[in-house]
A and B are shown apart, each in its own frame.
Chain A
Amino acid sequence: MQFLIDNFAALTITGITLGAVYALIALGYTLVYGVLRLINFAHSEVFMFGTFAALWVVMLLGGKAGGSVGQVVFWIAMMFIAAMAMSGLIAVVLERVAYRPLRKRNAPPLVALISAIGASFVLSEAMGLREKIAGWVGLDDELRSYVRNSRNAVGLPDIMRKEPLFNIGGYNVTNVDILVILGAVAVMIVLDQFVKRSRLGRGIRAVAQDPEAAALMGVNRDRVIQVTFLVGGVMAGAAAVFYLLRIGITRYDVGFILGVKAFTAAVLGGIGNLRGALLGGFILGLAENYGSAIVGTQWKDVVAFVLLVVILLFRPTGLLGESLGKARA
């Protein structure tokens, strides 16, 4: 308890940055769930590919530690473009390959979950075996720096140095902390406005509300679903960049536990509800940090899951309820 009081500021800031990443990944789950009533189990792999895309673009363009402000902005912009493009692409392909054929056959939802699990294995193993796969195609020499030791963690060059900006309650808030928090909130606001105001956003809401009525009103359901996956993937790409800046390393299996956490955040806030995902992400990040300060870091994940169970018991539809789609029976 004393530890919590002494380090309250530090725990809060790190909790919020962590929560921001959870929240951005959670958006992908929430969007897809809102439209398709489906846990997109492979979304964590979409995120993982984003981290690698961001990492590779820096390697490809020869990014080095320590640069002027302009250089740092350039690198981060490149990372965003690469990660969002890669994650968006993977998400769209995923929908095409793993979900659309099932929809055409009216398969039960549990089967879609199995297909998603299969896709998740394929994606993460494809990354974990990239060394071997490159060997097959005969490109392992050319791609050496990207594919070697494909089962190990790879680190990002320190392109954005963590520098303390100001001090709150004994914790030096760094520029990376601020970037992650402000950046995530900004991305969220853009998305919220997109879903609220744009034509495509209206389509998404319509399909979430009532797929059949939407189809009768001339909404192209397949296209809306595709856009939903694309948007979710792009958000995961943004999350990937923030994650990489904050944590600095990634691995082929980085997605799994992070995905579970992000899904937890989505459920916590009320799955299908975009603002709920934000709230859930922050609550989860903070609760984990405070909780681990009280009962010990090794219980961090347990705190997250116990919190989830407790909230679902009292509010079975999450904190903010479902708003993207109709309430579930």
Chain B
Amino acid sequence: MEPPDPIPMSALQHAVYCLRQAALIHLERLWADNRFTAEGHVLHAVTDRPGGRRARGIRRASGLALASRRLGIAGIADLVEFHLSQDGETPYPVEYKRGKAKLHRADEVQLCAQGLCLEEMTGRPVPAGALFYAQTKRRVEVPFDADLRALTEQTVADLRAVFDARATPPAIYRADRCRACSLSELCRPKQLARPVLAWRARQIEQLLLPEPPS
């Protein structure tokens, strides 16, 4: 039997934010090309160039294809640095993000997934990576601790379940999330919470009320 298609690692950040959002984008292929996503593409077009460069004991590889058979995920890393130490090279993924650090852990999970892939691919521990935020031009180091690893594996499992069932999870409206969601107009979480059958019956009832005398 064919192994299942790997889950694209770029879906993980969406899945942390909202599992439905990940399904709409990666399963149903709905895509709201708003300003944010467009800028994201441009940024990636710049950083996706494969090839390597050397600097001060650090070997750098950009556009590296990563995968984990154990987790069933795959994707392309913006940049992986290999830090030279006495016992060899330690991989250190660096992911570029537009804007600044976010309150939720989506970016960290995506990065940690890269770390897990690198561990499996190189057989060496990958203790940390970094997120580079375009707006603040700063690197933030992210340690891959037990918590983050668990969250990452859980996110992969949740996505796997959604992909296998080919079922988009129902919308649950949450103002803090949905208002900032680029897919809200395709998702329409508020309307989806409304039972249509009852609404339709009420509409017809109202339409058939006798006209008020004018």
Do A and B originate from a single complex? no
